Amino acid sequence: MSDTAAAHEAPTSTGIDHKKLIMWLFLASDCMFFGTLISTHLLYRKLFPAGFTDAEGHQRFIQNLFNIELTSFSTFILLMSSFLMALAVSAMHKGQIKSFRRNVLGVIFFGLIFLGCQVYEFTHFYHEGLTIQNSVLGSTFYVLTGTHGTHVAIGVLWLIMMYFYSFTGKLGGHMGALDVEIAGLYWHFVDIVWIIIFTAVYLVEYLGPNGIWGTGLPAVAK
């Protein structure tokens, strides 16, 4: 631990603010939650690599639906929002409220862009025939990315409230900086989950001529 951190040590038995400790424990539990969703998606992709059947009865493959440019763009946007969030937390620690507001507005803006990309993607997939009900792929994909999107939406709402709260003058001092840091932890967590989803759900589908899972049906036990 650095000297700076030691100088701001909380008067608790662990030396860590309770709010911060609880937030980290929550993030650890959310890690397990997303771990289960990602595992389920990957396992079912292995079990059912054939994709899905659209409304007209045609066999479709997810590789043809994904738009890597759009997903890469939204990934970049989320990474940069994480950077702005780190700057917002840093500004709050230094007591620079105007800088904090500027950076938080940037995070909110980028978060909304990310959500817009996800809404566009979901709408596009739905019109192409991939629904949450018509295939295992649809179920796991929408549940996983939808849960992540919900987390992003909650983060955006949280930051909007924090932005307006900063004008009341109550978001000050050490406790104010701590509140911003906790919101920042949540936002960064949303970002790291997307780092995994981007690789495990999107990029791996482009590996090999037929995607990493292949396009044939899996071997059946005798």
Partner 1 sequence: MSSSHEAALSPDFLAEEVRRYHHFIVLALWLAVVTGAEIVLIFLPIPVAAILTILTLMSAGKFFAVILWFMHLIYDKRLLFWCFFAGLALAFATYAALLMLFSVDRIDTRWFS
Per CB under 8 A, contacts with partner 1 among 133-192 are 136, 171-174, 176-177, 181, 184-185, 188-189, 191-192
Q: Of 191-210, which residues contact partner 1 (CB under 8 A)? A: 191-192, 195-196, 198-200, 203-204, 206-208
Length of the chain: 222
Q: In the complex, what is the shortest distance from the CB of residue 173 to partner 1, in angstroms, rounded to a whole number? A: 5
Residues 6+ apart with CB under 8 A from 30: 151, 189
Nearer residue to partner 1 within complex by CB, 124 or 174 = 174
Per rule CB under 8 A, is residue 18 in the interface with partner 1? Answer: no
The DSSP 8-state label assigned to residue 211 in this structure reads -
**Binds partner 1 (CB under 8 A): choice among 18, 25, 120, 127:** 25
In a 3-state reduction of DSSP, which class is residue 86? helix
**Binds partner 1 (CB under 8 A): choice among 63, 82, 118, 145:** 82
Q: Which two tokens stand for residue 6?
A: 């030691």
Nearer residue to partner 1 within complex by CB, 94 or 124 = 94
Query: x/- string (CB under 8 A) for partner 1, residues 41-80?
Result: -xx--xxx-------------------x---x--xx--xx
Q: What are phi and psi of 13, to 5 degrees?
A: -65, -25
| 148 and 190 Cβ atoms separated by less than 8 Å | yes
Per rule CB under 8 A, is residue 36 in the interface with partner 1? Answer: yes
Per rule CB under 8 A, is residue 40 in the interface with partner 1? Answer: yes
Crossing angle between the packed helical segments 173-197 and 97-127, to the nearest 10 degrees: 30
Q: In the complex, what is the shortest distance from the CB of residue 189 to partner 1, in angstroms, rounded to a whole number? A: 8
Per rule CB under 8 A, is residue 14 in the interface with partner 1? Answer: yes
Nearer residue to partner 1 within complex by CB, 33 or 126 = 33
CA distance 155 to 149: 10
Q: In the complex, what is the shortest distance from the CB of residue 62 to partner 1, in angstroms, rounded to a whole number? A: 14
Q: In the complex, what is the shortest distance from the CB of residue 104 to partner 1, in angstroms, rounded to a whole number? A: 14
Q: In the complex, what is the shortest distance from the CB of residue 127 to partner 1, in angstroms, rounded to a whole number? A: 25
Q: Which two tokens stand for residue 99?
A: 């800088």
Q: Which stretch in 19-27, 54-62, 125-133, 157-165 sits in contact with partner 1 by CB under 8 A?
A: 19-27
